Structure 1
Amino acid sequence: MKRDMDLIRSLLLEIEGGKRVFHVISHEIAEMIGVDPAQATEPEEADRLDYHLGLLRDAEFVEFYRGGGGDRQVERITWNGHEFLDTVRDGEIWRRTKDGAKKVGGASISLMLDMAKAYGKHVASERLGISFE
């Protein structure tokens, strides 16, 4: 499965906004284990969500624990998660970061973070009329 950085950013914003539970089971699995089908999603979406929540955990951006019925429950956003989110929160900085990553043919999370910081300084300089050099 391909990593979707827009989804990573979106999930972090949701968590920061207060979302604490993600249902990552398909309708079929929910039915088999007796979980309310209203808490389930389509199989492809459940897999995609579970995969990306796992990436957030792997990047040490968010700590989760498995709840009952296949849920991922948020324990907290880590320092690294807050740093990433604060760097890419602004839509203009995020757009420029993604464009930069496309120009180089893709980028690791650390390179994207470095680009976002650089674009952030540039945007701040434009908006505030001061130099960060």
Structure 2
Amino acid sequence: MKLNTDSVRTLMLDLENRLPWDESVTNIWNKQTGFVTYASYKELGHDEFIYTLSKLIDGEYISGKLCPANNTIGDVYIYSITWKGHEFLDNIRDPKVWAKTKSITNKFASVSVSFISTVASQVIAKLIEDTMHLQ
């Protein structure tokens, strides 16, 4: 399965809005209050949501774990967004920055999530520079 950067952004923004500040364990597998209530789950679908979540854990953008059970996922625990995850969010949150970043990175067959974050930070720097020259 391919990691979709739009899915990464969608899920990270959703987690940022949903996770408690105190890093208490959040089991998002709960059918009543868990992932099925997330807007990103509804938008991405089950497989894309779980795959993206697992890759965000692997990449250390979020702190959590997926617990296997009977050849499927038993529980999904999310603790927090990591410092690296917050840096990524701060770089890609603005829709204008995200659109410009995608227009640059879509010219290439493959770019990593960390590289996208780097490009987004350069887009932000350029926007700030342009704004400073206007004043």
**Normalised TM-score (structure 1):** 0.72
Higher helix share: 1
Shift of 1:110: 2.6
Is residue 45 of structure 1 aligned with residue 73 of structure 2?
Answer: no
- Measured in 2, the distance between the counterparts of 1:60 and 1:83 equals 12
SS in 2 for 1:17: helix
In the TM superposition, residue 76 of structure 1 has moved relative to its aligned partner by: 0.6
Residue aligned with 1:11, SS: helix
Bigger Rg over Cα: 1
Deviation of the 1:130 alpha carbon: 4.3
1:21 and 1:120, CA in 2 relative to 1: closer, same or farther beyond 3 A?
Answer: farther
Report if aligned partners of 1:23, 1:46 keep a CA contact under 8 Å in 2. no
Question: How much has 1:45 moved relative to structure 2?
Answer: 2.9
- Unpaired segments ≥5 residues, structure 2: 20-25
Kindly state the Cα deviation for residue 73 of structure 1 after the two structures are TM-superposed.
Answer: 2.6
Identity score, percent: 28
Q: Which segments of 5 or more consecutive residues in structure 1 lack a partner in the other structure? A: 25-34
Q: CA deviation at 1:14?
A: 0.9
TM-score, length basis structure 2: 0.71
Aligned to 2:129: 125
Q: CA deviation at 1:46?
A: 2.2
1:73 partnered with 2:102: no
